[in-house]
Structure 1
């Protein structure tokens, strides 16, 4: 069995590989050093190796006459520009007479919104509005504490503030603030997608 001494190549290798395991401080220092080394190599190597040449826009593609012909035609770059995603201006919503169903949904939703007896949980309160609310707006409503709602009843008939083919904004008066309720046509019926305090 060979005797290990403090001399020789093997001893040097043992000291190098054993350095990170001597203490937690050595291990942390080695990890930091390796992270810096990898980052530096990731920055320096692409610069040293050189990036592949990129063709400038509008410049003709370089062709090589020495390239072997394989019988397959090379793709010819198209010179026509592709249309941008928004090639035409956005269409403004088309106004339309208010849908009685949308106004009715807004009134039912407001009636459920003000219905929060003392001690009601958010889940029970939300169940009263679930069928009248869009799926996207339900998570927002789940963050509302019913105890903080300053209204207890609807005090009048809803009035339409604006009406389009796919959405209607309705003002509903309560004994607290007036509600500005946005109702949208989801394809499965009219549903509330937003509400705010009316000015």
Structure 2
């Protein structure tokens, strides 16, 4: 029999909404139904719309799919497997940049310049314009008393030269310095040195 009054409709709606709260069994049954509906929707809707993560693969297919040269994966096996198809490329050699050799020479001249009474801060200030910011804290650990050289005795000679870095040897009246100069955003800067003789 159809419901003809608003009071009758309200009573029916109230009975429907209050049904889960009548007993713990009704509440548990309602929660189970809601969870089942959500899970079913989560399974059915992606199949209807098409899952973008599996585009181009048929459901249940376990065949390997190639995404780019040298990389393949299987949709059922696990994480991607990377294969290198080309050997690693070594840095490109190049003639030594005159600016880089000049920086090595000027840096060596500042390195040997430490008259009696020079503090580490004064010495580092002379090296700062020619040194990378990352290497300056390492230079702070140098004991000036152990720097025996007092002057540069020759021109720098490149022992390795690439497009963005060079290694040059600069002779002094003490040890020969092996200085690595790299190309940075602010120009050529010294990033390391060693005493080789």
**Is the strand fraction higher in 1 or 2?**
2
Shift of 1:82: 2.4
Whether 2:132 is the aligned partner of 1:134: answer yes
Pairs within 5 Å for 1:20-59? none
Equivalences for residues 115-134 of structure 1 within 5 A = 115-134=113-132
TM-score calculated relative to the size of structure 2:
0.61
Unaligned runs of 5+ in 2: 1-37, 55-74
Cα–Cα, structure 1 residues 85 and 141, in superposed 2: closer, same or farther, change >3 Å?
farther
Alpha-carbon distance between aligned partners in 2 of 1:164 and 1:149, rounded to the nearest angstrom: 29
- Higher deviation after alignment, 76-85 or 93-102: 76-85
Alpha-carbon distance in structure 1 between the residues aligned to 2:184 and 2:83: 25
Q: TM-score, normalised by structure 1?
A: 0.60
- Residue-pair matches, total: 135
Aligned residue number for residue 31 of structure 1: none
Is 1:155 paired with 2:157?
A: no
1:72 and 2:45 aligned: yes
Segments of 5+ residues of structure 1 without an aligned counterpart are 1-66
Identify if the C-alpha distance between structure 1 residues 141 and 86 changes in structure 2 by more than 3 Å, giving closer, same or farther: farther
Q: CA RMSD in A?
A: 2.8
Q: Rg larger in 1 or in 2?
A: 2
